[in-house]
């Protein structure tokens, strides 16, 4: 387990020097997800996907009841890791190899565990990047989620020696075979397109197609604070204005996962039948978001794959891009030099399941 810096009986979090490749960290405080959590998540983001919204709709296609939104599962698992991995983080840099392995329902209890798979000190000698593979489990031991993330963490002592750099090789995109495990035994024969809010199926989307999700949502201070506490995410950069007033930005950053959930909720307008996130290929928080900013989103279809062993479900590989205070109509992602345009805050690459 990573060394922890304590003051008396309190934990001030791990610094870059405290991590070493091969460490396994079991994270504290299991969390039972309730219907109240689901309702609050809906209140925060306004997600309208039918499978996660209605027990009756979910039951018609084979779920025992409406599963918890995939991103709420992600946030709960992620939040458990923060006190040990990123309490002293400067920024969360990216994600890869994320797989949603089993549906989660209200009443399930989740816990998290992480393995350190890479470390690399930055050239400034003040920070370093830590790579971890984190997993979420139900109380019966079933793994429901795993993903890799890398985070920039402050050093405790700038004079401490740099470790031998070890950067893991990560897959650029999950294969269809790995996605197949994420889809439970469902039947799309009873899918009701009127009730789902969209007539478009897997076959209606083409590789290279871009979808402007049109709607925008302004982030309020109270909302992102409630969200951060909902996930028990203790990172001071998100909730402690006093500690952040002298930081680079002079104020709290909005948790990057909050942006992902906002963009995913906005994507309903154009991808209403994308009922399940099966995998996360990669993701990058390009620029910070602050309270008062308005988030817009658009998606690009990068690939299409049939789910192995299924004749009624396919998966779209989608690039979900979020912008702030900039509508997405004809909005380019990068300039001619390959740099992100001002206003881009999220570049998120994921697989989503749709009925054929």
pLDDT digits 0-9 by tens, 111-138:
999 999 999 999 999 999 999 999 999 9
Mean pLDDT of 45-56: 98
- pLDDT for the residue numbered 1: 42
Residue pair 297/343 in contact (Cβ under 8 Å)? The answer is no
Give residue 293's pLDDT band: very low, low, confident or very high (50, 70, 90). Answer: very high
- pLDDT for the residue numbered 37: 97
Least confident of 91-95, 110-114, 351-355: 91-95
- pLDDT for the residue numbered 239: 76
Mean pLDDT of 2-6: 50
Check pLDDT > 70 for residue 226. Answer: yes
Mean pLDDT of 98-123: 97
Structure tokens at 138: 């139900």
Least confident of 1-5, 89-93, 219-223, 259-263: 1-5
Check pLDDT > 60 for residue 232. Answer: yes
- pLDDT for the residue numbered 248: 76
- pLDDT for the residue numbered 322: 96
Give residue 346's pLDDT band: very low, low, confident or very high (50, 70, 90). Answer: very high
In the chain, % of residues over pLDDT 90: 76
Mean of the per-residue pLDDT values for the chain? 92
In angstroms, the CA 258 to CA 42 distance is 12
- pLDDT for the residue numbered 333: 86
In angstroms, the CA 125 to CA 158 distance is 6
- Residue 56, classed as helix, strand or coil, is helix
Structure tokens at 335: 């300039």
Check pLDDT > 60 for residue 6. Answer: no
Q: Assign residue 325 a region: left if phi > 0, alpha if psi is -120 to 50, beta otherwise?
A: left
Identify the burial level of 147 via C-beta atoms within 10 angstroms of its C-beta, where 0-12 means exposed, 13-18 middle and 19 or more buried.
buried
**In whole angstroms, how far apart are CA 229 and each of 106, 166, 176?**
18, 33, 35
pLDDT digits 0-9 by tens, 52-67:
999 999 999 999 999 9
- pLDDT for the residue numbered 262: 97
In angstroms, the CA 307 to CA 14 distance is 41
């Amino acid at each position: 387990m990573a060394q922890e810096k304590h003051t008396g009986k309190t934990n001030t979090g791990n610094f870059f020097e405290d991590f070493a490749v091969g460490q396994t960290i079991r994270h504290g405080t299991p969390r039972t997800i309730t219907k109240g959590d689901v309702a609050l998540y809906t209140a925060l983001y306004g997600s309208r996907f039918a499978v996660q919204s209605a027990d009756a709709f979910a039951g018609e296609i084979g779920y025992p009841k409406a599963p918890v939104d995939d991103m709420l599962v992600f946030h709960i698992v992620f939040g458990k890791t923060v006190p040990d991995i990123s309490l002293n983080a400067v920024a969360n840099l990216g994600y890869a190899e994320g797989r949603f392995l089993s549906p989660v329902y209200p009443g399930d209890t989740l816990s998290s565990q992480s393995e350190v798979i890479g470390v690399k000190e930055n050239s400034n000698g003040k920070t370093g990047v830590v790579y971890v593979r984190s997993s979420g489990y139900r109380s019966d031991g079933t793994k429901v989620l795993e993903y890799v993330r890398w985070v920039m963490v402050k050093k405790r002592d700038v004079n401490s020696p740099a470790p031998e750099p070890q950067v893991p090789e990560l897959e650029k995109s999950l294969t269809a075979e790995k996605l197949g495990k994420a889809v439970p035994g469902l039947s799309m024969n009873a899918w009701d397109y009127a009730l789902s809010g969209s007539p478009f199926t897997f076959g209606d989307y083409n590789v290279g197609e871009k979808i402007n999700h049109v709607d925008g949502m302004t982030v309020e201070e109270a909302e992102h604070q409630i969200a951060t506490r909902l996930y028990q995410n203790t990172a001071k950069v998100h909730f402690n204005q006093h500690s952040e007033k002298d930081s680079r930005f002079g104020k709290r950053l909005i948790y990057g996962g909050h942006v992902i959930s906002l963009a995913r909720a906005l994507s309903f307008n154009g991808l209403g039948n994308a009922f399940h996130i099966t995998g996360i290929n990669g993701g990058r928080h390009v620029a910070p978001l602050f309270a008062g900013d308005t988030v817009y989103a658009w998606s690009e279809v990068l690939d299409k794959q049939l789910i192995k062993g299924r004749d009624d479900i396919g998966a779209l590989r989608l690039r979900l891009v979020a912008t702030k205070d900039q509508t997405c109509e004809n909005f380019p992602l990068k300039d001619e030099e390959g740099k992100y345009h001002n206003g881009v805050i999220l570049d998120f690459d994921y697989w989503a399941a749709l009925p054929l």
